[in-house]
Amino acid sequence: MKLYSRGQMIGFSVLTGLLGAAVIIAGFGWMRQPEPAGEAVEFFETPEAPQENSRYINADNLQAFTEGERENITVYEQLNPAVVNVTTETMSINWFLEPVPQEGGSGSGSIIDTRGYVLTNNHVIENAYKVFINLADGSQYEGTVIGTDPENDLAVLQFTPPRGKELRTVPFGDSTNLKVGQKVLAIGNPFALERTLTVGIVSGLGRPIQTSKQHIIRDMIQTDASINPGNSGGPLLDTRGRMIGVNTMIYSPSGGSVGIGFAVPVNTAKRVVAELIQFGKVRRGWIDAEVVQLFPSLVRYAKLPVSGGLLVSRTKQNGFAERAGIRQGTEPVRYNANVIYLGGDIITAVDGMKTATLADLYSALEDNKPGEKVSVEILRGGNTLKLEVTLADREESRQR
């Protein structure tokens, strides 16, 4: 993975249909403990999108434009003040081994609550020492990172505006019933050119994008609305001015927009943001067992009947997985510096999703909470069995 400077993006691979191409994003970031949330969990009570006759619209004469142009102008006039430019400072070490702040990345964000909460991408603020939020009126405020969710590439920031300053917000829409061909608009700060509007359509739905060896963002929205470095974190909007996605990455062999961009669905963002504001992180469930992704040499050595799946090496003693009936391995073998126990169950599906890889397992459990029960399909002795497993807390499981 190649890291670029401000205004450029980190390459990602597209899981399906885009083999051999690069998916590109931009930014740097950090994380700190969340501030007291108070009543923040009720932040969804944001104002409705203003109607076309809103006092916010200042176009001289909308009747002079076509219907499509009036839609574009109205959405931009309504929501441009609610879209911010997010800039960062990072910390480097000089020749004298002294910490030196330097200019970091740049991206976009949406004000989602009048208390100063801003939704953006995690990669925009990753590894940052300081975060600054720049409003449409030219004012700048230092922001605080409330929480991050790298798995969905989302983050929530907060800044404190002066008393009496009215903040415009971007209202959340619904990404459930989007249609290919539906008109969409993107507002952001590409290449540091602030307050930019681009227009396109929904080009595809349900795109799974693999962002790392372990993580896949599911159900991404594909759009041909022009998205470039600096658009990351900005809103993808419908024609009524409601956020339907968070612009996150593009497919580009050249580094610039070629008409294939991707946005995290707003329904994912709504679910994640509530937890980030309340807890500073997203709590996720996990199968409390050590699993090994099958690979060719292991399949050949153990003479396994399948080439894809997750071998259960060990289970936690008296843990949820063991109590559900999942069996661990009994025959230890060494692979490089690791010990794998052979003879255990092979997990082939979780919560109705095939799990050929670890990334599949993370994806299957991305929206499941500790204490919930999921169906786990296993292969044992040539027979397929289905078990119901209670999920442990992922973070606690990792700490053991």
| CA within 13 Å, CB half, 41 | 6
Helices (H), the chain: 67-79, 122-125, 266-279, 296-302, 320-324, 358-364, 394-399
Query: How many angstroms from the chain centroid is the CA of residue 222?
Result: 14
Contact present, 254 and 137 (Cβ < 8 Å): no
Active site includes 232? yes
Of 106, 110, 123, 345, which is the active-site residue?
123
**CA gap 209, 263 in Å, rounded:** 10
Strand partners, 83: 110
- Return phi, psi of residue 268, to 5°: -65, -45
Given the residues 232, 252, 257, 313, the one annotated as active site: 232
Kind and range of the H or E run holding 174: none
174 in catalytic set: no
| Catalytic annotation, pick one of 113, 149, 153, 288 | 153
Contacts of residue 365, defined as CB under 8 A and 6 or more positions apart, other chains included, come to: 284, 285, 286, 287, 350, 351, 374, 391, 394
Rounded distance between C-alpha atoms, residue 252 and residue 228, angstroms: 10
Look up 367 and say whether it is catalytic: no
256: Cα separation from own chain's centroid: 21
Q: What residues are labeled active site?
A: 123, 153, 232
